[in-house]
Amino acid sequence: MSGMRFFDYNATTPLLPEARAAWLEANDACWLNPSSPYRAGAAAHARLEEARDRLAALLDVDSRRIVFNSGATEGNNAVLAGWSRTFGEKARVGVGATEHPSVLEAAKHHFDQRIDWLEPEPGGVIQPETLEGKAVSAVSIMAANNETGVLNPWQEWAKVCRGRGITMHCDASQWIGKMPLEGLGACDFVTACAHKFGGPKGAGFLLVPEGCVSGFVGGAQEGGRRAGTENLAGILSMLAALEAVEAKRATFSAKAKGDFLDALEEEMPGVTVIGRGQPALWNTVAIVLPDFKSSRWIRALERKGVLVSAGSACSTGKGGPSHVLAAMGLDPNQADRALRISSGWETTPDDWSALLDALLSSYKELKKEAAGSNSQVISI
């Protein structure tokens, strides 16, 4: 990675120094099983519960609502599986059409034909009005889209669901660490993933209603709601990362992204900014570039020392157009030319300028290559 400019923070993030230090300290000082009966084990358990209390304070929720787990995919699956046991065989659920694959696939697995898909507006936002006329027991709406960065009004969704007695789940994987934590406790279920905000892979948490039970059987860890020895080092590292990004979140700005988009639209005719004008994460850009498939753009940019992606890292290898872009009304031709660009706390205005230069020079080179081989050019 030395010398590379990283613009794929929505896929994963580098481990923050605070998180690394916490992980090393925990593995050295409290590596014992928190469930062990002796004093040293009790000390590890005390560290675990202290971490739960500190996380609860950040989220402004009762600590009994926090279940530590391996990340958002586990959390999302646990929520949908729990709903299938709780609501009965005829219950229907509402699911955002632009959700992460771990929500979509879990919903299809557990509810099959009993899903009401909640469609976005052309700009990508899913409004609570889409719930009208639908008799659902539960709703799953993400806070921020992982491919486009477009924000859903999850606070309004929480209010509407509460008023109608509908259980609500919010996948906040892309929100937490980038946007304010206030109000997330209004959702019944919230999933989060540490490696999206500078923590370690394999650690996360699930916010659940008080009194919630789980089908994850085995030991009595996490109040009987998630069996298995807790990853204490991962949990403490995750907490250190979240506290660190929260301390500097006020410095995060969309200005460099905005300047980049303005310049790109001016200097590259034919580019389309997906979700332009919609509320969005400060770090995320989704664009449709002219003429060439995203795979060629990605390779060309990597040769220039810039790393970007074509969408969700969890969908790599599946093939086919992005379900997010399809739900927003983009055709397969456009989706094949889409890039996702996502910055982080270490990204500078100079990095954005370098990205712009790399895109413009790559376009010239790709057109020159195409003129010679007449291959892989998409007619638009």
Burial of 331 (0-12, 13-18, 19+ CB in 10 A): exposed
> Which whole number is the average pLDDT over 160-175?
98
Dig out the tokens for 220 from the structure: 């009595």
- Kindly state whether residue 378 falls inside one of the protein's structural domains: no
Domain co-membership, 98 together with 225: yes
> Which whole number is the average pLDDT over 256-263?
98
Task: Compute the mean pLDDT over every residue in the chain, rounded to the nearest whole number.
Answer: 93
Last residue of a domain, one of 248, 264, 298: 248
CA atoms 14, 18, 23, 25: torsion sign:
positive
- Number of domains, the chain: 2
Domain co-membership, 188 together with 310: no
Domain co-membership, 282 together with 216: no
- Kindly state whether residue 53 falls inside one of the protein's structural domains: yes
> Which whole number is the average pLDDT over 19-23?
98
> Which whole number is the average pLDDT over 184-203?
98
Domain co-membership, 62 together with 168: yes
Last residue of a domain, one of 248, 281, 297: 248
Last residue of a domain, one of 197, 230, 248: 248
What CATH number is associated with residue 31?
3.40.640.10
> Which whole number is the average pLDDT over 136-141?
99
pLDDT at res. 379:
39
- Kindly state whether residue 66 falls inside one of the protein's structural domains: yes
- Kindly state whether residue 379 falls inside one of the protein's structural domains: no
Domain co-membership, 214 together with 273: no
User: Can 314 be counted among the known catalytic residues?
Assistant: yes
Domain co-membership, 302 together with 237: no
Angle between helices 349-373 and 294-303 (to 10 degrees): 120
Domain co-membership, 172 together with 297: no
Domain with 322, as residue range(s), is: 5-12+251-373
- Kindly state whether residue 380 falls inside one of the protein's structural domains: no
Instruction: Judge contact between 249 and 281, C-beta under 8 A.
Output: no
Domain co-membership, 211 together with 272: no
pLDDT at res. 216:
66
Domain co-membership, 133 together with 208: yes
d(CA 380, CA 32): 60
CA-nearest of 230, 190, 234 to 60 is 190
Confidence category of residue 85, pLDDT binned at 50, 70, 90: very high
What CATH number is associated with residue 367?
3.90.1150.10
pLDDT single digits (tens) 321-380: 899 999 999 999 999 999 999 999 999 999 999 999 999 999 999 999 988 876 555 433
Domain co-membership, 184 together with 207: yes
- Kindly state whether residue 303 falls inside one of the protein's structural domains: yes
Domain co-membership, 147 together with 264: no
pLDDT at res. 199:
99
pLDDT at res. 222:
80
- pTM as predicted: 0.93
Instruction: Judge contact between 16 and 245, C-beta under 8 A.
Output: yes
Domain co-membership, 227 together with 262: no
